[in-house]
């Protein structure tokens, strides 16, 4: 199996888990924050939902200029899920279009004035930002749900609310 095919296979499995977590986000609590320095529930959920497509899109380019634009605020759980579902398709397409031959190519992150802030192989960009970064935020979201007393789905093992191996 090629490296990009393996990455897509992992992403598909993780995306199904991510969707189960996003399904639990209550529309009536989107503005809620656990702390004044934290993202709102809706902003975090949209960051998770839109991140894979956005970040794998970066890897289809050789450099990206950071504009500082954040994820939009979610208006509903349905919008979050639609964004996630579209993003899964786009991310898989982006990873596939990069292909194994381009994983070692350099990618640069630049400021609007052209200063290079970060350089890494596209494989590292995909692994660290497009995949691991989203898994990290999914963990944050599960804590938000727990604090709101929303049942947390099984992610890598049982949760207090759901046994492992649940099929949805």
What confidence tens digit (pLDDT) does each residue in 23-64 have? 999 999 999 999 999 999 999 999 999 999 999 999 999 999
Q: Which of 168, 141, 156, 154 is nearest to 38 (CA)?
A: 141
Name the pTM for this structure: 0.92
What average pLDDT does the chain have?
Answer: 93
Q: Is residue 164 part of a domain?
A: no
Asked if the model's pLDDT at residue 151 lies above 70, the reply is yes
Q: Is residue 168 part of a domain?
A: no
Q: Is residue 154 part of a domain?
A: no
Any idea what the Cα angle at residue 129 is, between residues 100 and 2, rounded to 5°? 20
Domain that holds residue 129: 3-147
In this prediction, residue 168 carries a pLDDT of 54
CA distances from 52 to 14, 33, 56, 132 (A): 11, 23, 6, 10
In this prediction, residue 73 carries a pLDDT of 85
**Calculated CA dihedral for residues 94, 95, 97, 99, nearest 10 degrees:** 160
Q: Is residue 118 part of a domain?
A: yes
Q: Looking at the 3D structure of the chain, how many domains does it have?
A: 1
Any idea what the Cα angle at residue 156 is, between residues 152 and 159, rounded to 5°? 30
Per-residue confidence at 167, pLDDT binned at 50, 70, 90? Answer: low
Q: Is residue 159 part of a domain?
A: no
Q: Is residue 53 part of a domain?
A: yes
Q: What is the CATH classification number for the domain harbouring 48? A: 1.20.120.450
Per-residue confidence at 166, pLDDT binned at 50, 70, 90? Answer: low
Q: Is residue 166 part of a domain?
A: no
Q: Is residue 153 part of a domain?
A: no
- Provide mean pLDDT across the span 109-130: 94
């Amino acid at each position: 199996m090629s490296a990009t095919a393996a990455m897509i296979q992992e992403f598909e499995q993780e995306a199904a888990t991510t969707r189960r977590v996003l399904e639990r986000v209550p529309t009536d609590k989107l503005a809620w924050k656990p702390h004044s320095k934290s993202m709102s529930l809706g902003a975090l959920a949209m960051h998770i939902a839109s991140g894979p497509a956005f970040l794998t899109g970066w890897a289809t380019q050789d450099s990206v200029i950071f504009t500082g634009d954040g994820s939009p605020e979610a208006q509903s759980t349905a919008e979050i899920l639609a964004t996630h579902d579209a993003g899964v398709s786009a991310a898989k397409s982006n990873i596939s279009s990069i292909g194994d031959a381009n994983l070692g190519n350099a990618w640069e992150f630049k400021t609007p004035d052209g200063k290079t802030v970060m350089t890494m192989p596209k494989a590292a960009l995909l692994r660290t930002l497009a995949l691991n970064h989203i898994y990290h935020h999914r963990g944050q979201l599960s804590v938000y749900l727990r604090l709101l007393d929303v049942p947390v789905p099984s992610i890598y093992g049982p949760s207090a609310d759901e046994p492992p191996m649940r099929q949805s």
